[in-house]
Amino acid sequence: MIFVYHFLSSPKTRYLTSKSDSFLKDIEKGKYVGIITSFTIAEYLAVTKGVLCNKRNGQVSTGEITTIKVKFEQFIDQMGITLYDSDSLASKSPVFSECENVVERSSAFKGRYDRKWHNIRGADALHVALALSVNAEAIATFDDDFRGVGGSINPLMLSEVY
Amino acid sequence: MSINSQTHIERRLLDREPSRNNPDKESPFTNDYSSRIQYLNPSSMTMAGLYEKTISLPRPIKPWHRASKGTTERFKGCLTEIFPELKDLDEKDLRDMEKKRHEL
């Protein structure tokens, strides 16, 4: 979502886009080493395609999908962010069975403002399991669902850090 | 007590024939664990730790390198420039996107 917010930045969007911008600038400066997987690209494409479909009330062409994807790849290239293939990671370590452990280890978190309970879900668990498989120290997110993630990885809550 | 003398005691206990008339009250192995740890070569213990932490990662599709200066600024709002309909997006739309992601 960080990439989506940054690419959709406009004068009308401030809170999420400015925090994403600050975090990405820190990666650019070398404060963090950015790592993503091909599953991150799938989520980026899905969210961007969804928002575009809703805004225009119509389909997104294959050519447009390619454009969206190319922009992302150019950004990753120039930012020096490491990209791992999720399939290769899953062949080296038990990523999918780790998802179950991630869900079991995590604790629920009650939102301070919405007063709703948040917990790790299926897709979140897969992101965490993939991050664990590359020995990542933290997972950068705006999503409260990740707050209760346990084990050797910590959530980097961008809404609080920036 | 030196490590060698402990080894000697342990060897005696291990080699001793069990007596039916006077069975041992405790197994000779009961208290052996702490002394056995000392027989381990500290360097091998260190290596054991290293082996546990060693993970083999596949080669990344794109490896890490220093970022090109100004990349964040160059790509800011890049999709809103390509797709004009996205220029109308406001903070509420982004919040809705975040909520939809929660539903995954």
User: Under DSSP, is residue A84 helix (H, G, I), strand (E, B) or coil?
Assistant: strand
pLDDT band at B92 (very low <50, low <70, confident <90, very high): confident
- Residue A109 makes CB contacts below 8 A (sequence gap 6+) with A117, A118, A119, A144, A145, A147, A148
Cross-chain CB nearest to A6 (options B61, B76, B101):
B76
Q: How far apart are CA A107 and CA A144, in angstroms?
A: 11
- The percent of residues above 90 in pLDDT, for chain A, comes to 69
Q: Are B88 and A56 in contact (CB under 8 A)?
A: no
Cross-chain CB nearest to B71 (options A28, A89, A145):
A28
Collect all residues of chain A within an 8 Å Cβ-Cβ radius of residue B72. 6, 21, 24-25, 27-28, 79
Q: Does A157 touch chain B (CB under 8 A)?
A: no
Q: What is the overall mean pLDDT for chain B?
A: 68
Q: Does B92 touch chain A (CB under 8 A)?
A: no
- The tens digit of pLDDT for each residue in A61-100 reads 999 999 999 999 999 999 999 999 999 999 988 999 999 9
The nearest alpha carbon in chain B to A8 belongs to: B77
* Mean local confidence (pLDDT), B29-50: 49
Q: How far apart are CA A70 and CA A67, in angstroms?
A: 5
- Residue A33's pLDDT is 95
Burial of A98 (0-12, 13-18, 19+ CB in 10 A): buried
Distance from CA of B40 to the nearest CA of A (A): 28
Task: Give pTM, 2 decimals.
Answer: 0.75
Q: Does A51 touch chain B (CB under 8 A)?
A: yes
Q: Does A142 touch chain B (CB under 8 A)?
A: yes
Residue B16 has pLDDT above 90, yes or no: no
* Mean local confidence (pLDDT), B43-55: 53
- Residue B98's pLDDT is 72
Q: Does B85 touch chain A (CB under 8 A)?
A: yes
Could you tell me how many CB contacts below 8 A there are between chain A and chain B? Answer: 152
- Residue A138's pLDDT is 94
- Residue A117's pLDDT is 87
Distance from CA of A97 to the nearest CA of B (A): 17
Give strand pairing partners of A110: A117
The CA–CA distances, whole Å, from B84 to A55, A95, A110, B78, B81 equal 10, 39, 38, 11, 6
Collect all residues of chain A within an 8 Å Cβ-Cβ radius of residue B93. 13, 51
Residue B2 has pLDDT above 90, yes or no: no
Q: Are A50 and A4 in contact (CB under 8 A)?
A: no
Q: How far apart are CA A130 and CA A65, in angstroms?
A: 25
A10 to B102: CB separation less than 8 angstroms, yes or no: no
- Residue B27's pLDDT is 53
- The tens digit of pLDDT for each residue in B63-73 reads 999 999 999 99
Q: What is the overall mean pLDDT for chain A?
A: 91
- The tens digit of pLDDT for each residue in A23-50 reads 999 999 999 999 999 999 999 999 999 8
Q: Are B92 and A25 in contact (CB under 8 A)?
A: no
State the complex-level ipTM. Answer: 0.89
CA-based radius of gyration for chain B: 33
- Residue B33's pLDDT is 45
Q: How far apart are CA A14 and CA A22, in angstroms?
A: 12
Q: Does A87 touch chain B (CB under 8 A)?
A: no
Encode chain B in three state secondary structure: CCHHHHHHHHHHHHHCCCCCCCCCCCCCCCCHHHHHHHHCCHHHHHHHHHHHHCCCCCCCCECCCCCCCCHHHHCCCHHHHHCHHHHHCCHHHHHHHHHHHHCC
User: Under DSSP, is residue A114 helix (H, G, I), strand (E, B) or coil?
Assistant: coil
- Residue A115's pLDDT is 83
Residue linked to tokens 């992101």: A127
A8 to B94: CB separation less than 8 angstroms, yes or no: yes
